[in-house]
Amino acid sequence: MIRILIADDHKIVRDGLRSLLEKQKGLQVVGEADNGRIALRLLKELKPDIIIMDIAMPDMNGIDATRQIMGVNPDVRVIALSMHSDKRYVTKMLQAGAVGYLLKDNDFEDLSKAILAVMAGKIYLGPEINEDLIADYLRIHPDSEFSVLNILTQREIEVLRLLSEGKTSRAIADALHLSVKTVETYRKQIMDKLNVHTVAELTKYALREGLTTL
């Protein structure tokens, strides 16, 4: 059972999230907080696995709360849920220790994906968040436990491995039973996520991550 704490200063948001989350098998909302200070206190009492954290809250905002929470329990996963898509907010939350960032107008399905992703040790940024911020995160945390590959899907990893081995799009399509167009789409997604522009750069990543050898 994944234990979740909701931190948001709007009760209607907390009520809505609780209702949606508790309908999902394997999720349990163990508490709510209307500011960061209360979230920090409840962290110690309730020991959640995940904190869904608003940024703009009274008394202690989500960025400061996340920073302090990481100091108390670096194993808890914080997913920011905010109205702000501005790069400054996203970067500050990542710097503070958040491993997920969603906008409040995202679908609930995105939050479900984020929960599963961060519990698997991955970073999850909502679809509206600029992929360049992933590169920023990796620059901010060069020694982070999060591999570059954590931001790729399993299928993207397979395509990356085959690309790094010099396979053509046709060969990859045949190997994975996909269309050439789908392989090209995956290649673009991989390059966008990793912020690289050539197959040579992709090969360097694959070598570094042990997906292929020279």
**102 with 160, same domain?**
no
Domain boundary among 143, 167, 183: 143
Instruction: Report the half-sphere exposure of 208 (CA within 13 A, side-chain side).
Output: 9
Question: Are 142 and 151 within 8 A, CB to CB?
Answer: no
Handedness of CA 151, 114, 105, 140 (dihedral sign): negative
Helix intervals (H) in 142-179? 154-164, 169-176
Query: 153 and 138, same structural domain?
Result: no
How does pLDDT run along the chain (214 residues), one tens digit per residue? Answer: 999 999 999 999 999 999 999 999 999 999 999 999 999 999 989 999 999 999 999 888 999 999 999 999 999 999 999 988 777 788 888 888 898 999 998 889 889 989 998 998 888 888 777 555 555 655 555 555 445 556 777 788 889 888 888 889 999 999 999 999 999 999 988 888 777 788 888 887 777 766 665 5
The tokens describing 202, both together, are 């992709």
Distance in angstroms (rounded) separating the CA atoms of residues 136 and 127: 16
For residue 16, the enclosing domain spans: 2-143
pLDDT attached to residue 145:
47
Give the residue from 98, 117, 143 where a domain finishes.
143
Domain assignment of residue 213, yes or no: no
Same domain, yes or no, for 89 and 136? yes
Helix (H) or strand (E) holding 185: helix 180-194
Distance CA(158)–CA(212), nearest Å, equals 11
Instruction: For residue 48, give both structure tokens.
Output: 């959640």
CATH of the domain at 166: 1.10.10.10
| Structural domains of the chain, count | 2
